[in-house]
Structure 1
Amino acid sequence: MTSEAILLIARQTRNAREVLEEHADRLRRRAVVDAVEVATYESEPVRELRGRFERIAADVVYAVPICAAHTHETIDAVPAALSYVAGDVRYCEPIGRSPAVTEVIEARSAELRPVSEDVSLVLVGFGSSSKPYHRQTVDYHAARLREQSEYGEVLTCYLLQNPAVECVRYNATGDRSVAVPLFFSRTEATEERIPAELELGRGGVEYADPLGTHPRITDAIHAEVAKQRALGGDDASGGTSFEARLTRTKRPVATDGEGAPR
């Protein structure tokens, strides 16, 4: 009988492991697969995770990056590290674009201010100077919230691209706003940089917690695994997925001391 495992992967931040463990515990209780593993790294996924990945014994491993959108690491270093998993790796999309995340954003905001037409909702993303993935994710949720919610306006801003976080206070038309960071755990950015650039001490802007351990995030992980299971590794939706191509082509580079033949 084929054994299956879910592997939750994230960069190590101030509470990333605790967040991943909470989702892993829920998935274990749901008996979604035979095992649920958690892996975090600080800066070098191949070097830090290789030994851990070699010990995963499942026949099929659903590797889920717990982040808002693809980064350089999830496109390059994480797929290379996954080459050390002995089983069939089904590399999943980052869960940030799940419809469930839209619900969590609204829930985090409503914890601070009731949804109404005189409230501006601000979505804060990390952004990227070279890749579109973070902007696409933030824009996706902003469009859904404009259509489905009763906020007076929904604005977007980023740490690494325009519109910048420090400008969003002046872009809001009203004087009552809630800013929700599209991050899954607490980081230096969510704890220090974003609050400073929002000038929270001036008042008028409430600042929500990261998406964290909200149960709907667990649902988003579960849904992504179910999608990959339905595809059966063949990407029956037509053509090879972006993530599948990454795990087939990315390997550690021998010249950096981490390469190894498989």
Structure 2
Amino acid sequence: MLPMTTESLLLISRDTRSSREVFETHADRLERRTGVDTVELATYESEPVSELRDQFRAMSAETVYALPMCMAHSYDTVDGVPAALSYISGEVHYCEPLGQSPAITDVLLEKASTHVPATGETSLVLVGFGSSSKPYHRQAANYHAARLREQSDYGEVLTCYLIQNPTVECIRYNVSNPRAVAVPLFVSRTEATERRVPEELELDRGGIEYADPFGDHPRITDAIHAEVEKQRALAYGDTSASRSFEAQLTRTCRPVATDGEGVL
């Protein structure tokens, strides 16, 4: 029998307009479902290490499952967040972002069809944040776009991004059907989902409906739960867990003295 250890689930995200309220809803559900001792929230504005280290130092759980509440890895989640996690005294299992969970596909289809029914004469547009240098956002968007082409009746499923091609501002001219719906690939409301995306889609021209971000949808809770259970299984039954991309990040990313964050 494996010895009992205290476990905590840590949900990490930038502090956005509605992030804490949304994450508290997921945390309440997960506390009942995952069997961990605690579910904690960690939000930051711009500097994960300086803003989160005191909270992380205070965590007493022997095992911590840390999950970035975003669609795909970004500069923060491959550098600042894993560096901040080094302040946790317990064993940290850094989870993948939510972006390639099949549950996300279900949420996207539900959000889209609420606004524009799926037919051969309607289009679905997935709007991601994107990255000028990393492939992760494109990979996540393409994954769900491919699934939606197979599993829905939309005449076309397109992808676009705020900071990489194809851009949001150009997608209107790529849509072939007279009616379309755009769904943002964001967990919670942000300045981008509230202002930038609607402006660049030119929603006031008509023809494109716009859905809300995922928010506190129950299937997002399912996606988080599934990732935690995967990490548990890997931790106790498969040495490949130590070779994952996220495990490498927690081993190699550390605050350094020259940044004013590390300890000499």
Residue 161 of structure 1 aligns to a residue in which SS? Answer: coil
2:245 counterpart of 1:242: yes
2:41 counterpart of 1:24: no
Q: Deviations over 1:44-85 (max 9, x none)?
A: 001000010111111100000000100001000000000000
Matching residue of 1:78: 81
Matching residue of 2:217: 214
Residue 38 of structure 1 aligns to a residue in which SS? Answer: strand
- Which structure 1 residue ranges, 5 or more long, are not aligned? none
Q: Deviations over 1:143-173 (max 9, x none)?
A: 0000111111001101111111111111111
- Which of 141, 148, 151 does residue 151 from structure 2 map onto? 148
- Which of 118, 131, 134 does residue 134 from structure 2 map onto? 131
Contact kept? 1:11, 1:42, Cα under 8 Å: yes
2:66 counterpart of 1:63: yes
Matching residue of 2:110: 107
Counterpart Cα distance in 1 of 2:77 and 2:249: 9
Counterpart Cα distance in 2 of 1:18 and 1:71: 23
Contact kept? 1:235, 1:241, Cα under 8 Å: no
- Aligned residues with identical type, % of pairs: 67
| Amino acid corresponding to residue 175 of structure 1 in structure 2 | P
Going from structure 1 to structure 2, the CA distance change for 1:48 and 1:130 (only over 3 Å counts) comes to same
CA shift, 1:260, in A, is: 2.5
Pairwise CA RMSD of aligned residues? 1.3
- Which of 176, 179, 183 does residue 180 from structure 1 map onto? 183
- Which structure 2 residue ranges, 5 or more long, are not aligned? none
Residue 166 of structure 2 aligns to a residue in which SS? Answer: coil
**Structure 1 residue runs of 4 or more that deviate by more than 2 Å after TM superposition:** 233-239
Counterpart Cα distance in 2 of 1:56 and 1:4: 10
Contact kept? 1:234, 1:240, Cα under 8 Å: no
Matching residue of 1:15: 18
Contact kept? 2:122, 2:154, Cα under 8 Å: yes
Matching residue of 1:36: 39
Matching residue of 1:167: 170
Contact kept? 1:178, 1:208, Cα under 8 Å: yes
2:43 counterpart of 1:50: no
Question: Normalization by structure 2: what TM-score?
Answer: 0.96
Counterpart Cα distance in 2 of 1:137 and 1:130: 15
CA shift, 1:29, in A, is: 2.1
CA shift, 1:119, in A, is: 1.1
